[in-house]
């Protein structure tokens, strides 16, 4: 019964969230907005690599730039999940507390705050999925179609049995991290605009999005090795045939790090909830 109630509340929250995020414009413009940000981000790094190839800056002349670009495009495209979930969930508390002034109402309704956050997070997952698919398609259109670069990306050859479990686990871990961001924003009112971008920035640096984590200093690699995003991108690249690793081992690490992140996320959220109740933060407003 409790599970059914949770699912029902999360579904309604998803419905509200989807309307808030999408019905301000028509679907084509909405999709355009969803793709431009990750695509621009991809173009920045892709141009750096293309320029690196053009000016011969690489110290290793045997470096395969096309293979690296394929690796980079897939990593960057799936990084859209990180961007969408982190940005969406980092701002959620601020918007509902300060702008719509409904956080207190949600909180005092019986058992709705947690499914509400989950439901709103799932909207970001849908947005992320749209971004990933469109970014991959546009990347091939730009680099192989317009620039004739012959990047080895074959979407028909993707192993979906490897891809789908990896994406599901990765998304759960990102939602758990988003949960923590909501918790931080419940007890703080100065970080809502920077938190999403900054946490995404941490994953951008440490998650192996644009370069292999082996290039990081060894003491930082150990941090990268406990992040679910690292294993999410490894497993995704393996399912695209762009990384020769041990898929099952990466998937197991992804499952383990997801579980740990989930436990920490729920614990942090409950702590923040208790503190907010104690200090009366659920209806705090801040404008400056």
Partner 1 sequence: MLPKTTPREELLTNLRAAYARMWVRLKGSNREATGLVAEIGLPIFTIGAYVILYRAIGFPPTAGAAVIIGGAMIAFWTNVLWNMSSQWFWERESGNLEMYLVAPVSRMSILLGMAMGGGLNTGIRALGIVLLGIFVFQVPFQLNAPLLVVAMFALTLVALYAMGMLFASLFMLYGREAWNTASLLQEPVYFLSGAYFPGFFGPIVPFAIQAAGSLIPMTIGLDAIRRLAIGGGDITSVWLHIIALIACILILFPIARRALSYMESLGKKEGRLTLRWQ
Residues in contact with partner 1 by CB under 8 A are 20, 24-25, 33, 36-38, 40-41, 43-45, 47-52, 54-55, 57-60, 63, 87, 98-100, 188-191, 193-195, 197-202, 204-206, 209-211, 215-216, 285-288
Other residues' Cβ atoms within 10 Å of the Cβ of residue 16:
15
What is the closest distance, in whole angstroms, from the C-beta atom of residue 10 to partner 1 in the complex? 22
Q: Which is nearer to partner 1, 72 or 162 (CB)?
A: 72
What is the closest distance, in whole angstroms, from the C-beta atom of residue 212 to partner 1 in the complex? 8
Q: Which is nearer to partner 1, 141 or 164 (CB)?
A: 141
HSE on the CB side for 1, CA within 13 Å? 0
DSSP sequence for 69-80: HHHHHHHHHHHH
Q: Which is nearer to partner 1, 168 or 215 (CB)?
A: 215
What is the C-alpha separation between 125 and 118, in angstroms, rounded? 10
Q: Which is nearer to partner 1, 6 or 65 (CB)?
A: 65
What is the closest distance, in whole angstroms, from the C-beta atom of residue 75 to partner 1 in the complex? 11
What is the closest distance, in whole angstroms, from the C-beta atom of residue 91 to partner 1 in the complex? 9
What is the C-alpha separation between 134 and 124, in angstroms, rounded? 15
What is the closest distance, in whole angstroms, from the C-beta atom of residue 285 to partner 1 in the complex? 8
Query: Among candidates 177, 176, 170, which has minimal Cα distance to 236?
Result: 170
Residues 6+ apart with CB under 8 A from 195: 86, 90, 181, 184, 185
């Amino acid at each position: 019964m409790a599970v059914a109630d949770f699912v029902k509340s999360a579904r309604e929250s998803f419905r509200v969230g989807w309307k808030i995020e999408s019905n301000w414009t028509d679907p084509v413009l909405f999709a355009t907005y969803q793709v431009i940000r990750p695509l621009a981000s991809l173009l920045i790094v892709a141009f750096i690599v293309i320029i690196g190839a053009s000016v011969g800056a690489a110290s290793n002349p045997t470096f395969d730039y096309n293979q690296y670009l394929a690796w980079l495009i897939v990593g960057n495209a799936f990084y859209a999940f990180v961007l969408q979930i982190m940005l969406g969930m980092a701002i959620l508390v601020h918007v509902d507390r300060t702008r719509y002034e409904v956080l207190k109402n949600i909180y005092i309704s019986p058992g709705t705050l947690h499914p509400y956050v989950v439901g709103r997070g799932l909207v970001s997952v849908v947005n992320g999925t749209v971004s990933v698919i469109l970014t991959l398609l546009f990347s091939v259109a730009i680099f192989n179609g317009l620039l004739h670069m012959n990047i080895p990306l074959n979407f028909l050859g993707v192993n979906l049995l490897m891809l789908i479990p990896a994406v599901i686990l990765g998304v759960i871990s990102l939602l758990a991290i988003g949960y923590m961001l909501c918790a931080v924003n419940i007890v703080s009112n100065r970080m809502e605009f920077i938190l999403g971008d900054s946490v995404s920035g941490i994953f951008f640096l440490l998650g192996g999005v644009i370069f292999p984590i082996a290039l990081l200093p060894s003491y930082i690699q150990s941090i990268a090795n406990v992040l679910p995003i690292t294993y999410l991108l490894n497993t995704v690249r393996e399912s695209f045939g762009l990384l020769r690793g041990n898929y099952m081992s990466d998937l197991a690490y992804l499952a383990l790090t997801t579980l740990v992140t989930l436990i920490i996320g729920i614990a942090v959220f409950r702590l923040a909830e208790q503190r907010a109740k104690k200090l009366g933060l659920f209806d705090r407003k801040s404008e400056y």
